[in-house]
Amino acid sequence: MTKTISRRDFLKLGSAAGITLAVGQMLSPKVAQAARDAGHLNAAGDGTIPSLCEMCVWRCGLLAKVQKGVVVKLDGNPDNPHSRGNLCPRGQSGLMNTYDPDRVLTPLIRVGQRGEGLFRKASWEEALDRVANGMLDIKQKYGPEAIVFSATHNLSQPLFENLLYGFGSPNYGTQRSLCFNAMIVANLMTYGTEEPARNYSKVKYIILTGRNLMEAISTSETHDLSQVIDEGVKVVYLDPRYTKTASKASEWLPIKPGTDMAFHLALLNIIIGEGLYDKSFVERYTVGFDILAQEVKKYSPDWAAQITGISIETITRIAHEFAAAGKYTLAHNGWRTSNFVNSFGTQRAITALNTIMGNWGTTLFPGSGEGAGLGAPLQPPYPRVSALRLDGVPWKYPFVPLKLGIFQELREGVVNGDPYQAHGWFISRQNPVMSIPDRGRTLQAFRKMDLITTIDIIPNDTAWFSDVVLPEASYLERFDPLNVVGDKAWLRQPVIEPQGEAKSALWIYKQLGERLGLGEYFQYTDEEDYLRQQLAPIGVSLDEVKKTGYAQLPVEPPNIYNWNTTTGKIELFSETLSKAGFEGVVKWEEPPVPAEGQFYLLTGKMAQNTQFGTQNNQLLHKYSDEPRLWMNAAVAAERGLKEGDWVEATSDVGRIHVMLHPTEAIRPDCVYMTPGYGHLSKALTTAYGIGACDSVLHKTFTDPISGSQALSQTFVMVQKA
């Protein structure tokens, strides 16, 4: 008999194991025994268990502190290079994610209308059969390409990709085009590597473009930056907003949005024009310098001052200071950079500035390889896929790597049914309803779907609109494939038994794969067997790794002066780009500007939350202020607006109501809001009803080279509500 459940019942399902904010429960006999076997716990049940954080994708090493058999705290693992003994606020609150009273702890099948939040409990057997049969039905009617697969970067991604590519769909949505496509593609076109490693130990001068590292925390890099600031290294920080990073920097430049490229072009103009660059490095290791030098003659400090709002004197002084630091400089690539369609050009200008200073091998190095030396279960080759990708990669966007894709264009392909109509969406650990710009349009895409499946630990907004929700074990409850950092492979292992019926992604993908006829892509008996197969080539036992938390890898030192580009050198001019009809050398691209009465809409990070996934964490919630719309204090006063007033912000695609925060800490032409709020899922009892959603306002703009979404190119009107 089908029993429908209300929102209240849905919430009760989340607490099926009777958990009520029960941080600190006894270890289950199985986990306690494993911890004793590995030597982590003494006879009294005290000790620490090493594992990895997953409150963001940085994967710091953690030590779960156990007292009398109860996990009481998470600390940073001093041996792990990403944590170095520290966890950020999100990492510290990880137990509360696992013990979230809203956790989904049993498979759920929708019984009401999409978005009503009416589900019934189902067994794993029934839920997996339902998903597999639904996917096979769509495949038979419309072809495998009619299912879209999307997931956020995580350690079990290779198995997710086995499902996707084994099934035969080309449609792969990741979060990367909403984040760092411009940086990655610019690095690939210049250095032939996705992201060079930064070394702060010798740095003397940093230009940081929009990377708010004190709030967008990656523990080790945030620590590196703090340390060099303490040591007196000069940090020039460009951001239209006075963030916590601005407060720590030596100099804050409130640059006009979208003009960071002009600032860097002017630095290139001065440093090259006055011959202050590293001539022997440029001659030996680069191609295209003469073309770059000719191009940047146009970009005088006078020209850049008018565009950026930064004075000629400041630009000139910074160029001279930067040049004086020689190869001990770092023009930081940032992450999303300026969030305009010219961000790819901005990134190319930053890479050019680094290159002419000859800092490669001093502050920048080749990125480390992933997974070298580890094994994997055998599997057959993937079937040939002839269908075009819905996101236009590579047939419209030849330079976007397939594994990055363009998520916002994928959504557009679904809405427009172009070049064909998709009918199913399989989503793992991702929240496209919140993350893709223009939420209304994402919900429109959902309405085209016959089957939406979501794997997650909480009933997020995407789960709320799904047909089947599969409960994943949290990162503290499961094993994952090994995480390679430098010369070590780090282990995520359970410190708590999975609650309810939650299962690891490795288990879920295998079960589903077998039902889809793809069992050959999942040749492991369980999670530990998968890990043993990974460790086999290096001759290390899983028991040893459980004890230490990592396996040592044989790593050959890279040849740092060997670039994986067409010419084998750093490409200041790219013939590949030029032949494809794009600019081979960085050239100024004028960004759009708001009309009279409009503001640039800025978004950014806060230290307490990770994108859209942690706002329901009760500990983080407790230490977060109600999110408000920042507006320059003078501008607010002119409009008769004051702290706490409700305002309406309107863009071309949406409207929100939000509380106002007038502040001196933002340019007069900008407003700012923190993403990750304004949830639609009423099952998120902590986060629901808090703040407003930036994706409602964001318009879709895609950079034609890198596929990056230009988030700051949305302009809004603001008035009293």
Q: CB 86 → ligand SF4: shortest distance, Å?
A: 7
Q: Which is nearer to ligand SF4, 75 or 583 (CB)?
A: 75
Q: CB 81 → ligand SF4: shortest distance, Å?
A: 11
| Helix/strand/coil (H/E/C) assignment for every residue in 264-284 | HHHHHHHHHHCCCCCHHHHHH
Pairing mode of beta strands 147-151, 424-428: parallel
Provide the angle, in degrees to the nearest 10, between the axes of the packed helices 343-356 and 260-273. Answer: 30
Burial annotation 584-601 (CB, 10 A radius, 16+ → b, else e): bbbbbbebeebeeebbbb
Q: Which is nearer to ligand SF4, 53 or 225 (CB)?
A: 53
Q: CB 13 → ligand SF4: shortest distance, Å?
A: 27
Which of these, 286, 236, 292, lies nearest to 265 by C-alpha position?
A: 292
Q: CB 55 → ligand SF4: shortest distance, Å?
A: 3
Phi then psi for residue 148, to 5 deg, are -95, 135
| Helix/strand/coil (H/E/C) assignment for every residue in 214-226 | CCCCCHHHHHHHH
Burial bucket for residue 555 (CB in 10 Å: 0-12, 13-18, 19+)? middle
Say if CB 136 and CB 456 are below 8 A apart: no
Cα–Cα distance measured from residue 478 to residue 697, given in angstroms and rounded to the nearest whole number: 37
Q: CB 473 → ligand SF4: shortest distance, Å?
A: 17
Segment holding 153, helix H or strand E: none
CA angle (624, 603, 475) in 5-degree steps: 55
Q: CB 67 → ligand SF4: shortest distance, Å?
A: 21
Q: CB 98 → ligand SF4: shortest distance, Å?
A: 13
Cα–Cα distance measured from residue 518 to residue 167, given in angstroms and rounded to the nearest whole number: 7
Q: Which is nearer to ligand SF4, 38 or 53 (CB)?
A: 53
- Region of residue 255 (left: phi > 0; alpha: psi -120 to 50; beta: else): beta
Q: CB 419 → ligand SF4: shortest distance, Å?
A: 38
The partner residues of 207 in beta bridges, in order of sequence, read 236, 331
Q: Which is nearer to ligand SF4, 549 or 662 (CB)?
A: 549
Q: CB 56 → ligand SF4: shortest distance, Å?
A: 3
| 162 Cβ neighbours under 8 A, 6+ residues apart | 379, 509, 513, 518, 521, 522
Q: Which is nearer to ligand SF4, 58 or 263 (CB)?
A: 58
Say if CB 157 and CB 481 are below 8 A apart: no
| 8 Cβ neighbours under 8 A, 6+ residues apart | none
Say if CB 666 and CB 242 are below 8 A apart: yes
What is the CB-side half-sphere exposure of residue 130 using CA atoms within 13 A? 21
Say if CB 355 and CB 341 are below 8 A apart: no
Segment holding 73, helix H or strand E: strand 70-76
Cα–Cα distance measured from residue 512 to residue 504, given in angstroms and rounded to the nearest whole number: 12
Among positions 36-65, residues that touch ligand SF4 (CB under 6 A) are 53, 55-56, 58-60
Q: Which is nearer to ligand SF4, 90 or 546 (CB)?
A: 90
Among positions 184-223, residues that touch ligand SF4 (CB under 6 A) are 217-219
Q: Which is nearer to ligand SF4, 217 or 341 (CB)?
A: 217
Edge-first strand order for the sheet with 468-471 is 119-121, 108-110, 468-471, 451-456, 424-428, 147-151, 172-173
Among positions 225-254, residues that touch ligand SF4 (CB under 6 A) are none
Q: Which amino acid is at 461?
A: D
Q: Which is nearer to ligand SF4, 220 or 511 (CB)?
A: 220
Q: CB 490 → ligand SF4: shortest distance, Å?
A: 11
Q: Which is nearer to ligand SF4, 219 or 685 (CB)?
A: 219
| Helix/strand/coil (H/E/C) assignment for every residue in 14-59 | HCCCCCCCCCCCECCHHHHHHHHHCCCECCCCCEEEEEECCCCCCC
Q: Which is nearer to ligand SF4, 91 or 549 (CB)?
A: 91
The number of residues that bind ligand SF4 (CB under 6 A) is 13
CA 315 to chain centre: 32
Q: Which is nearer to ligand SF4, 154 or 533 (CB)?
A: 154
Say if CB 657 and CB 721 are below 8 A apart: yes
Q: CB 345 → ligand SF4: shortest distance, Å?
A: 30
Q: Which is nearer to ligand SF4, 307 or 620 (CB)?
A: 620
SS3 state at 257: coil
Q: CB 223 → ligand SF4: shortest distance, Å?
A: 10
Say if CB 255 and CB 242 are below 8 A apart: no
Site string for ligand SF4, 561-600 (x = CB under 6 A): ----------------------------------------
Q: CB 647 → ligand SF4: shortest distance, Å?
A: 32
Q: Which is nearer to ligand SF4, 55 or 671 (CB)?
A: 55
Q: Which is nearer to ligand SF4, 97 or 712 (CB)?
A: 97
- Neighbouring C-beta atoms of residue 282, cutoff 10 Å: 22
Among positions 63-102, residues that touch ligand SF4 (CB under 6 A) are 87-88, 90-91
Q: CB 604 → ligand SF4: shortest distance, Å?
A: 16
Q: Which is nearer to ligand SF4, 130 or 198 (CB)?
A: 198
DSSP 476-514: TS-----EEETTEEE----SSPPPTT-B-HHHHHHHHHH
Site string for ligand SF4, 615-654 (x = CB under 6 A): ----------------------------------------
Segment holding 532, helix H or strand E: helix 527-535
DSSP 123: -
Q: CB 88 → ligand SF4: shortest distance, Å?
A: 3
Q: Which is nearer to ligand SF4, 80 or 150 (CB)?
A: 80
Q: Which residue is nearest to ligand SF4 (CB)?
A: 91
Q: CB 501 → ligand SF4: shortest distance, Å?
A: 26
- Region of residue 4 (left: phi > 0; alpha: psi -120 to 50; beta: else): beta
Q: Does 179 bind ligand SF4 (CB under 6 A)?
A: no
Q: CB 224 → ligand SF4: shortest distance, Å?
A: 13
Q: Which is nearer to ligand SF4, 184 or 216 (CB)?
A: 216
Cα–Cα distance measured from residue 630 to residue 44, given in angstroms and rounded to the nearest whole number: 52
Q: CB 59 → ligand SF4: shortest distance, Å?
A: 5
Q: Which is nearer to ligand SF4, 430 or 442 (CB)?
A: 430
Q: Which residues bind ligand SF4 (CB under 6 A)?
A: 53, 55-56, 58-60, 87-88, 90-91, 217-219
